[in-house]
Amino acid sequence: MRKKNHKYIFVIGGVMSGVGKGVATASIGRILQEKGFGVNPIKVDPYLNVDAGTMNPTEHGEVFVLNSGLETDQDMGNYERFMELDLKTEDYITSGMVYKYVIEKERALGYGGKCVEAIPYITNEITRRIERAADMNGSSISIIEIGGTVGDYQNMMFLEAARVLRLRHPGDVSFILVSYLPIPSKLGEMKTKPTQTAVHMLNSYGIQPDILIARSALPLDQKRKEKIAIWCNVTPDNVISAPDVDSIYDIPLNFDKDKIGSIVLKSLGLESKKKGAILSEWRQFVKKTKNSSKELKIAVVGKYFDTGDFMLSDAYLSVIEAVKFSSYTQGAHASLTWINSKEFETGKLKIESLREYDGIIVPGGFGSSGIEGVIESIRFARENGIPYFGLCYGMQLAVVEFARNVVGLKDANTTEINPKTKYPVIDIMSDQKVLLAEGNYGGSMRLGAYPANLKKGTVASTAYGKAKISERHRHRYEVNPEFIMQMEEQGLVFSGTSPDGRLMEIAELPETVHPFFLGTQFHPEFLARPLAPHPLFSAFIAACIKEQGKKK
């Protein structure tokens, strides 16, 4: 249950989006945890989508899946990684969720025949959800990141709800504005006016920020801190400098230097529950990120990798971070190269070029474009002893490749690509067929955490060090049970299965046959943490390092 005098921190963006509100929220949350407080982060996305599941990841960023199965914004992944939490459905709010609930309640006469208007019914529903999340988590402090920037029409209701919440709970609500300070190239001088304007606009909603986080390419000098303080009605100490950094994992340490934890607690009338230095484990992790001696070359092969590295870094954020965490702990730095599988199909890129890599990853995806190039990449990795790690679609296509080229089922395929294939080694689940026939796409896949049993003596069981696991899923298709025996007879090992033995969760080749050839039906990247790397990613990286050593 929510404790008496529960505290709320709202993180709001100014000037422009994409300046790091999510990472700032996660960093502040981590610092407050280290100071002894239970914290629950909440992400507010003001779009009308009910969840993030139907959005294009190359445009909006990765779809991050919670244990509950809710498909969310990628910032939820940062919260989990920084704060080492498994977030709940209640920790994510969209305008679509809010409006859908209010409209459905009105249709069911839930408002007793009253005229239902945006204010107060929408804002009341927003505050109800924020307070419910606090109750569900039993935390002391909620940190609510409001997506977008001040002045966006779509987040007005959330700002109004935040204002009302502060009115209802005086002394228990604090506002932080993350705002950008540009340095025009022709002037070479940091300009504060856009941030001043953002604060004035926030004031027009009846909200005065208590703390300003000043994002810029360079650190903020004292002169500008004082200028911002005067024009924005905050003290200079409450203006936090947040310059660009090489790694987002430096941010909690930089914030701690500016004593942001103490400043935030003071704004809420609280004192730290712990004395002395904090973030000791985090400092050790950051030190490892800067002292990696081995360079690993990892090829990430995908079917729509023609959108640019920047887009891909957002679309596959959790995969990238999971590789980093496991590499750092083993004294290595992984350099990822995005390879468009279509180039193997057109001949623009030769399959032999994969020899230069220490490992190959095929991440999740959907659709048919570039699939034959992916399958050819998997075959090359299998036949040439290059460590291979397939995630979801990457496992399914590894099964297709094995069925075709080892078992001899030449037309083997997934029915997602070829519904009429003679050998549907990957097929859609029966309950999914019903949902798709009804036109239900959003939130209708196999989503969230499911348990699995591991076979003793396999690569997977050795990596995990236990017999039972739970991992997060996001897919519709499964290994077809009709072909399992044929593939096992030819050496493919299904080392992880659902507790009833019906669903294949992990496929691998024994270490006696291949250095590392493993695919997962689930998405292990969603559970990777800076201080707790995922065991399968760590096993993959260890195999890459070992094979690299053999080349020298």
Helix, strand, coil percent content, the chain, rounded in steps of 5: 45, 20, 35
- Tell me the two tokens of residue 401: 């490749």
Catalytic residue among 34, 71, 392, 534: 392
Contact 213, 26 (CB under 8 A): no
Q: How many Å separate Cα 139 from the centre of its chain?
A: 22
Strand, helix or coil for residue 499? coil
- Tell me the two tokens of residue 268: 């809420």
Annotation says 523 is catalytic: yes
Alpha-carbon distance of 538 to 322, in angstroms, equals 9
What's the Cα-to-Cα distance from 431 to each of 392, 425, 445, 495, rounded to whole Å?
A: 19, 18, 10, 25
**Residue 382: half-sphere exposure toward Cβ, Cα within 13 Å:** 27
Contact 381, 443 (CB under 8 A): no
Strand, helix or coil for residue 490? coil
Q: What Rg value do the Cα atoms of the chain yield, rounded?
A: 25
Closest to 301 measured CA to CA, from 384, 362, 247: 362
Strand, helix or coil for residue 104? helix
- Tell me the two tokens of residue 56: 């294009």
Contact 474, 447 (CB under 8 A): yes
Catalytic residue among 471, 525, 534, 544: 525
- Tell me the two tokens of residue 247: 């790694």
- Tell me the two tokens of residue 552: 């020298």
Catalytic residue among 475, 514, 523, 534: 523
Q: Interhelix angle for 95-107 vs 123-137, to 10°? A: 110
Burial of 430: CB neighbours in 10 Å, binned 0-12, 13-18, 19+? exposed
Sheet holding 359-362, edge to edge: 332-340, 294-302, 359-362, 388-391, 517-520, 504-508, 493-497, 446-454, 468-475
* Helices (runs of H) and strands (runs of E) counted in the chain: 20, 21
Contact 10, 176 (CB under 8 A): yes
Annotation says 544 is catalytic: no
By residue count, the chain amounts to 552
The catalytic residues are 392, 523, 525
